[in-house]
Structure 1
Amino acid sequence: MATPAQWVQGARPRTLPTAVSPVLVGTGAALGDGVVAPVNAALALLVAVSLVIGVNFANDYSDGIRGTDDERVGPMRLVGSKAASPEAVRTAAFACFGVSALAGITLVALSEQWWMIAVGAVCIAGAWFYTGGRRPYGYAGLGEVAVFLFFGPVAVLGTVLTQSGAPGAPAVVSAVAVGMLTCAVLVANNLRDIPTDTAAGKRTLAVLLGDTDTRRLYAALALAPFVLSVAIGLRSWPMLVALAALPLAVAPVRSVLGGAQGRALVAVLGRTGVLLLGWSVLTAVGLVWGRFG
């Protein structure tokens, strides 16, 4: 039976910036529109965090029963290491999805954006079928596309819609950038796993592109958001504050382009999460500041 510490590790806390960041940016945009909705913001955060933990447990379960995690370089997986039974991990995933659904329905009711119930259902289905089901799309090189959409435009703009209504151009551009940085987190993860995923028949985008092009993709995804910050800064100069996060990109990009492999890429994964969170915090500040700038 897995210990509490192993369950926490299995939840993959290093990926939580992917949940927190879009809510920060979306809430910053809402505040920039002059709307303060702390309850809605808290519910959006609960939706995002529970969904990310749920998808992590779902991936642990699905990859574990397929044998994909039998030989693993990254953080411990509960099923692959046999620390927990597949049934227990699957139950944990469904419990997290349930919390996300309940929080989402409450948020929809408060904001009266009823059509977003369908969006939430698609998000939960996407979380499960990423590696679950007979034909998981994460095994067909589509994981990055889903991550970009769900954690970028859907999460950021959904947060805005449930707080202040229709988003403006700065929020839309910021949502694209959040999607890119979140993709960079996944690309760093999949770059590390190219050898084991190839052996297991898991055709991620990294496997399809190969080592060299995956490294170039990572660098582009990590740096492009700063170009977008400059672009939107021409319209609203406070958005340029996000450039202060650029030093956070130096170490992970240098490591990836320098050929880091195996466990060295575990550190890159953590640093990319810090980059995502740092850029998002500063962008949220810029969105709020833009109201007064």
Structure 2
Amino acid sequence: MTKSFTDKLGKGGYGTVYKGSLPNGHPVAVKMLTESKGNGEEFINEVASISRTSHVNIVRLLGFCLDGSKRALIYDFMPNGSLEKFIFTDRSQIESTLGWNKLFEIVVGVARGLEYLHRGCNTRIVHFDIKPHNILLDQDFCPKISDFGLAKLCTSKESIISLIGARGTIGYIAPEVFSRNFGVVSSKSDVYSYGMMVLEMVGGRKNLDVTTTSSSETYFPHYLYKNINQYCVEACGDNGEAIEIVRKMILVALWCIQTMPDDRPSMSRVVNMLEGDISDLQLPPKP
């Protein structure tokens, strides 16, 4: 299937992904999980959560293999790889490859996928690791949420999630996942991660940039909050449609990264905000 694991697509904290193909020639991505993961919780998490899903913006699990300590997950192959490689690059390259309209479609697609996980499937799922690396792009750049190794399943009545220790990736983890002083852990924790990711898509940079010469630009969300109109013009020139798209993405993202979970919108509300009129969007309190 994988030609002796010769075509490596990438490597992450939970294992290595190889390109392969099924007997009928259908291209697949085979994720070989790291063997040193104790009782295999991340494998069980991924199979249990993603096998319950069916949505255009969720990566499709085709099968899995469990052989002693060896664990593999088989997914549809995504020819355009992860979103990460497209956004952390030169701004002009992003615009020539994707353009603001396509970036906006990706933002909306991920929002719909998260809305489905939080509300639409049989068992509610909180992902806990939304970031550009875990958003895969098919041949048409349709986004697919992937990597459910940290996900938590909830009953439909359960809104508060109990966690032992923080989980996620630095830069995207909601404050309440670190400290319960900020509120309870819930699907709003994914909303925060989503907002941080959208701001990185808008900026083509990490939200925390210690290499920048201007201290005011070190933390990108604060810079955007103070300079939203200026940034939109700088990013889009005199393209009025693009300015509106970028402004909408920034406003929605700033709502998503509010410090207190109760101040963040649900993903259903996020979808409505993105698909609604920009005149209905107000600048939120400073995150």
Same fold, TM-score > 0.5, yes or no: no
Instruction: Compare the two structures and name the one with the higher strand fraction.
Output: 2
Higher relative contact order (CA 8 A, sep 6+): 1
Larger fraction in helix: 1
Q: Give TM-score, length-normalised by structure 2.
A: 0.30
